Amino acid sequence: MARKIFVNLPVRDLERSKAFFAALGFSFNPQFTNDKGACMVVSEDIYAMLLVEPFFQTFTKKPVANARETTEVLVCLSCDSREEVDDLVRKALAGGGAAPNAPQDHGFMYAHGFEDPDGHVWELVWMNPSATPAQQG
């Protein structure tokens, strides 16, 4: 059985977050979505649980980080091409997100990313299989 990952993220406005990620092409599993949280399907084995802050707080005794002021996690997703990286960033910016960094081209890897409306950083990378560092050296 493949191991699955569920990344839990606090959000201030669940409907805004769902609309933002839906515009990027992500879907939601209605079985695990209600007024307290939404299960965003990233892939067959990866999910982001977007949880309203008061509900998120019930899972930890620590204060919930304000992702606009501090970095609590960097979520990195692989993409199938440079174009997919750029397209997702473009959609994120159009939907109210921000680009905290300029695109980075390392030859073997192309990276860019965005901050969602709650400030969570989503890094996007495309790895060129024909130009890996081991093959360059």
- Structure confidence by residue, pLDDT tens digits, 47-83: 999 999 999 999 999 999 999 999 889 999 999 999 9
Q: Would you say residue 108 has pLDDT above 80?
A: yes
What six digits make up the tokens of 61? 């005794």
Of 17, 14, 6, the residue nearest 116 (C-alpha):
17
Mind giving me the DSSP string for 62-127?
SPPP-TTTS---EEEEE-SSHHHHHHHHHHHHHTT-B--S--EE-SSEEEEEEE-TT--EEEEEEE
What is the pLDDT at residue 27?
A: 98
- Report percent pLDDT > 70 for the chain: 96
What six digits make up the tokens of 123? 């890094």
What is the pLDDT at residue 131?
A: 72
What is the arithmetic mean of pLDDT over 115-132? 91
Segments forming the whole domain that contains residue 72 = 5-136
**Distance (Å, whole) CA 112 – CA 103:** 4
Report the CATH number that the domain containing residue 17 is assigned in CATH.
3.10.180.10
3-class state of residue 135 by DSSP: helix
What is the pLDDT at residue 32?
A: 96
3-class state of residue 20 by DSSP: helix
What is the arithmetic mean of pLDDT over 2-23? 96
Q: What is the 3-state secondary structure (H, E, C) of 27-72?
A: EEEHHHCCCCEEEEEEECCEEEEEEEHHHHHCCCCCCCCCCCCCCC
Domain count across the chain: 1
